[in-house]
Amino acid sequence: MNIPQWLLAASAASITLPALAVNPQPDPDNPTGYILLRTEVQVSEAAQTHDPMYSAWANALATAPNSMVEQIDEGLVANPDNVKRAERVFSRGDWDFLTQMAAPEYTYQRFLQAIGKFPAFCGDYGDGRDADAICKRSIITAFAHFAQETGGHVAKDNAWDNPLALEEWQQALVHVREMGWSEGQEGYTTGCGQNDWQNRRWPCAANQGYFGRGAKQLSYHFNYGPFSEVMFAGDATVLLNNPALVADSWLNLASAIWFFLTPQAPKPAMLHVIDRTWVPSQREIDAGIGYGFGTTINIINGGIECGEQNKTKGQPVNRIRYWEGLAAHYQIPIEADEANTCWQQTPYGSLNLNGATDVLYTNWEASWKYHADRPGGVSFECNLVGYQTAYSALVPGDYEKCVTNFYGSHANWPEVRIVDTLPTDGGAGGGTGGGDTGSGTPSGIIVWEAGVTQANVGDTVIHQGKCFTAQNPPGVWETPTQSNWFWKEVSCPVG
């Protein structure tokens, strides 16, 4: 499994993180740029992702190799444990019962393969939770949404179109492509070709359409790209260049499982609502958002389906009918603290969670906080925000890309390069890390090294070619860059 180890380590309950700040140095290879030490950048990231929920998200999005997934089929001894659990609680007979109207591209084998790609779906719990019950509830929840997103919606008494008199909740997965669209048509290309970070990260391919495909009707390049990154080891271009795979392969169901497992912070992942790994914040509780099927509606489409104004609207009413029909048939218990509806909830898009201390976010953005001790007052760090950006806290390596402005999304951000070691000789491979003169340090002057140097009052240090005398006891991170309470800039002695 591809579990991002940096997230697991950062979220260990026993972790103790030092109060470490990055220490930008002039880049010896770029007269207008700066370098940052990778270890400092990593600690800056870890300090913001130490909550155990980041580990839970990483585990949920861990994936199995496609080569293994493609070997999965019904009843095989070699099937992964989570696939065997899915077969046990939702057999081929159950699949056939709910897919009698389904498009032929959806098969039970592809359903099992989609589950096998994500070991956390129908996975084990080591804390006493009933993994079989959670697996069954997860699958039935997914089918309730499938019945709305891609269902037939044919009345039971319509003998002409529904000769088997199927319940509407038995009519999932009828459509594999959005109605009115077919391969070879360009469409849903809004924003394609613009000179922005979305196109630099997820570039649209010529003559391709990003209309709805698969069980979740994946749409738009900024959704095909991230899904492709998860399916193909970080390569966004596979599905951007060949989006038809989301209709014609096991990806048609994997796209829905991926959505089911992915938080869109501040919205939680649907799995974590169902298995109660997620704990709603006080502001969410105040907004009526808690456990139950209704919150999964809010996650999917709360902006147009939740709230008092949408109480009788067709889409949420359908979803609730389908869920209640499926839950009754499959004997899914509804707990006392669960709500099937979301009309009593504030839609997530209308819920202001900024500033809440019990809410977590999953996207990085440049921190514009002013730092007097850093060049130009720039932070040289990123922080978590509650909206989509070019950089995800769920993607290993994205924090470093944020700090270096890899996709050019931060206006007026300095040129930054991250290095494993600071230069020691003033050249590309050396220098003192502070851009000092390289011609020898004057006698009695201390070369400042952030996090190491311990200066006393009266000591003179050199940093970035400037000298400073300590006028009050500085800490090891009170980097001298200008005169302040700790330091007074002085002329550097010669020789």
Residues 364 and 399 in one domain: yes
The letter for the amino acid at 14 is: S
DSSP 437: -
Cis peptide before 31 (omega within 30 of 0): no
Residues 441 and 415 in one domain: no
Whole-angstrom Cα distance, residue 188 to residue 207? Answer: 11
Q: Give the domain range for residue 20.
A: 5-51+360-419
Tokens at residue 186, please?
């360009």
431-477 pLDDT tens trace: 333 333 333 456 678 887 766 788 888 888 887 667 889 888 887 66
- Domain-embedded: residue 76: no
Residues 373 and 411 in one domain: yes
Quick check: 168 and 153 in contact, CB under 8 A?
yes
- Domain-embedded: residue 164: no
DSSP 365: E
Write down which residue in 376, 394, 419 finishes a domain. Answer: 419
- Domain-embedded: residue 207: no
- In the chain, how many domains are there? 2
Give the residues across from 173 on adjacent strands: none
Residues 441 and 494 in one domain: yes
Whole-angstrom Cα distance, residue 151 to residue 160? Answer: 17
Tokens at residue 32, please?
């207008």
CATH number at residue 488: 2.10.10.90
Tokens at residue 262, please?
């992915």
Around 60, how many Cα atoms within 13 Å sit in the side-chain half-sphere?
23
Catalytic residues: 149
Residue-by-residue DSSP string for 300-328:
HHHHHH-SGGGTT-HHHHHHHHHHHHHHH
- Domain-embedded: residue 373: yes
Residues 453 and 494 in one domain: yes
The SS3 call for residue 488 is: strand
> Using CB atoms within 10 A of its CB, is residue 357 exposed (0-12), middle (13-18) or buried (19+)?
exposed
pLDDT above 90 covers a percentage of the chain that reads 72
- Domain-embedded: residue 23: yes
9-28 pLDDT tens trace: 333 333 333 334 799 999 99
> Using CB atoms within 10 A of its CB, is residue 444 exposed (0-12), middle (13-18) or buried (19+)?
exposed
- Domain-embedded: residue 35: yes
pLDDT at 417 over 60: yes
- The rounded mean pLDDT for the chain is 88
Residues 440 and 490 in one domain: yes
The SS3 call for residue 32 is: strand
Quick check: 341 and 320 in contact, CB under 8 A?
yes
159-193 pLDDT tens trace: 999 999 999 999 999 999 999 999 989 889 988 99
- The predicted model gives 40-59 an average pLDDT of 91
- Domain-embedded: residue 412: yes
Q: Kindly report the number of other CB atoms within 10 A of residue 477's CB atom.
A: 14
- Domain-embedded: residue 442: yes
Determine which of 73-87, 305-319, 364-378 has the lowest per-residue pLDDT on average. Answer: 364-378
Residue 436, pLDDT score: 38
